[in-house]
Amino acid sequence: MYRIAIANQKGGVGKTTSAINIATALAATGLRVLLFDLDPQGNASTGLGIGQAQRGRSSYDVLIERGGVAEAAVPSSVPRLSVVPATVDLSGAEIELVELEQRTHRLHRAIEETAPLWDVVLIDCPPSLGLLTINAMVAADSLLVPLQCEFFALEGLSQLLGTVERVRERFNPSLSILGVALTMYDRRNRLTEQVSTDVRAVLGKVVFETVIPRNVRLSEAPSHGLPALIYDHRCAGSEAYISLAREVIERMPRARVAA
């Protein structure tokens, strides 16, 4: 089982869109995928068509040990893709977790317990560097960081990397960066091209070659409760996510995925 946290403390950079569509593409290759929704907004759950009524056990219950991952996981309409849904309860978790023992390792322990059930676990993080994201970093083998192609793209990244460094030192020495994915690329806008060039110059090979274009189909799909990859598998956004998922597969250690 290989675990990837999709993280960036900025909101609206494409974390959830990436989580849903990469998860779908990985499941389509035959892998058993779990998408763990760790954002109280529950967008990954909604975007995969998991309604409130289906959220019997949620990621919050898992964190406070009111249920295991296997009980909380709900099958999505995508074969081999299950979701641990999030509910608004999770918004209190940042504060409640502080009181609990092993507060940074709760997600790690819960996911470890059900390791035989999944080949890949993707964790969709909230837009903050609080205890929920720390739990994701402790539980993960690596991080996938979506970066929006805008003027301040790199701002905030050093803060994120600083948190990664602290998590490595204290809890999870093998945490790595799987890659940085440039999102919402707009060909007609010269600025995004410049941002992409600059980001590659600064970060080098850690940046995925695939760039996710700004594409309206990607933003429409969640309202239908479907991944863009199923809603319109031929749109430019879907094609880009298929290509990004291919790079993700290349970067995941094969032995870990199969184990």
Q: Which positions lie near ligand ADP, rule CB under 6 A?
A: 11-17, 43, 127, 183-184, 212, 214-215, 218-219, 222, 237
The CB-of-101 to ligand ADP minimum distance in angstroms stands at 30
Asked whether the beta carbons of 147 and 181 are under 8 A apart, the reply is yes
Residue 214 contacts which entry, Mg ion, ligand ADP, none (Cβ below 5-8 A, type-dependent): ligand ADP
Asked whether the beta carbons of 58 and 86 are under 8 A apart, the reply is yes
Residue 45 contacts which entry, ligand ADP, Mg ion, none (Cβ below 5-8 A, type-dependent): none
Q: Which stretch binds Mg ion (CB under 5 A): 14-22, 64-72, 77-85, 147-155?
A: 14-22
Q: Which stretch binds Mg ion (CB under 5 A): 21-29, 41-49, 192-200, 211-219?
A: 41-49
Q: Amino acid letter at 246?
A: R
Residues 8, 16, 46, 215: which binds Mg ion (CB under 5 A)? 16
Asked whether the beta carbons of 186 and 14 are under 8 A apart, the reply is no
The CB-of-39 to ligand ADP minimum distance in angstroms stands at 7
Does 80 interact with Mg ion (rule: CB under 5 A)? no
Between 114 and 238, name the residue whose CB sits nearer to ligand ADP: 238
CA 80 and chain centroid, separation = 17
Between 124 and 141, name the residue whose CB sits nearer to ligand ADP: 124
Q: Which stretch binds Mg ion (CB under 5 A): 15-23, 59-67, 94-102, 134-142?
A: 15-23
Q: Which residues of this protein are in contact with Mg ion, per CB under 5 A?
A: 15-16, 39, 43
